[in-house]
Copies of this chain bind each other. A is one copy, B any other.
Amino acid sequence: MSAGERRKFRREGEERRRQDLIDATLDCIADHGLQGATVRAIALRAGVTAGLIRHYFPGKEDLLQAAYANVMGRMTELAKTALATVDEEPRLRLAAFVEASLVPPVVDARSFSLWASFIGRASSDAALGAAHRAGYLGFRDEVEALVAEVLAGAGRPAGIAELRRQAIAINAVIDGLWLEGCLASEMFSTGELAEIGIGSVEAMLGVKLRDETEVERA
């Protein structure tokens, strides 16, 4: 076998390559955690050689940060889309928001694996921590605004403190159900989590979010 065979390759656009590398990084992390995200493993998955990574990113650290930003971006984007699609009553928009957060692809083992890997490091890494907090607060503010509209629409507007409290609680239910769904998806039937989520929010707010005809009582 002639050893001097040099690998064939194609030149891809810069944006494309960067995204490919980021995707490969996320694949590695989802499969084997941050430990599995070595430059060589990433390069292998991206179909390039390790050295190329440093041509697009100053160092592995920067690639990881870019990957994290990518994940956060997709998640918030998903949530925003869910909010934007329904432009009707606040009640329905809140319900849609809750539901969107509790069905695939948001509830998904891979997403969770990525989230856990990064979040575990956000505790010790200041930059990651700040990025996460920003995303979280944005999320909660969204919920709070929605809750304000819903309560106002129901004829019982709430004060600042009450709003904050409700937003925190609702956010918590969503997060908790999301967690359970990601960790043990096969324990829940399709739509069950969303159903429970919406029901819980209704109970907490004391407001029906859906039409009465849609509500089932067990």
Q: Which of A173, A184, A196 has the most CB of B within 10 A?
A: A173
The answer for the CA separation of A104 and B147 in the assembled complex, in Å, is 29
Q: Could you name 25 residue pairs across A and B whose Cβ atoms are closer than 8 Å?
A: A32-B124, A33-B120, A35-B35, A109-B123, A112-B123, A120-B120, A133-B183, A136-B183, A161-B218, A168-B180, A168-B196, A169-B197, A169-B200, A171-B176, A171-B180, A172-B173, A172-B175, A172-B197, A172-B200, A173-B176, A174-B176, A176-B177, A176-B179, A179-B179, A203-B206
Q: Is the interface of A mostly helix, strand, loop or mixed?
A: helix
Query: Does A18 lie at the interface of the complex (its beta carbon under 8 Å from any beta carbon of B)?
Result: no
Q: Is the CB of B124 within 8 A of A31?
A: yes
Query: Does A54 lie at the interface of the complex (its beta carbon under 8 Å from any beta carbon of B)?
Result: no
Candidates B121, B136, B174, B203; contact of A33 at CB < 8 Å: B121
Q: Is the CB of B172 within 8 A of A177?
A: yes
The answer to whether residues A169 and B165 also contact, given A113-B124, A121-B33 and a CB cut-off of 8 A, is no
A151-191 contacts to B (CB < 8 Å): 159, 161-162, 165, 168-169, 171-177, 179-180, 183-184
The answer for the CA separation of A192 and B128 in the assembled complex, in Å, is 26
The answer for the CA separation of A132 and B176 in the assembled complex, in Å, is 15
In the complex, which residues of chain B have a beta carbon less than 8 angstroms from the beta carbon of A65?
Answer: none
What does the 1/0 interface line of A109-132 toward B look like (CB < 8 Å)?
A: 100110011011111100000001
> In chain B, what residue has the closest Cβ to A163?
B218
In the complex, which residues of chain B have a beta carbon less than 8 angstroms from the beta carbon of A132?
Answer: 183
The answer for the CA separation of A112 and B123 in the assembled complex, in Å, is 9
Query: Does A204 lie at the interface of the complex (its beta carbon under 8 Å from any beta carbon of B)?
Result: yes
In the complex, which residues of chain B have a beta carbon less than 8 angstroms from the beta carbon of A123?
Answer: 30, 109, 112-113, 116
The answer to whether residues A133 and B184 also contact, given A33-B120, A173-B169 and a CB cut-off of 8 A, is yes
The answer to whether residues A165 and B133 also contact, given A124-B113, A206-B203 and a CB cut-off of 8 A, is no
The answer for the CA separation of A60 and B169 in the assembled complex, in Å, is 40
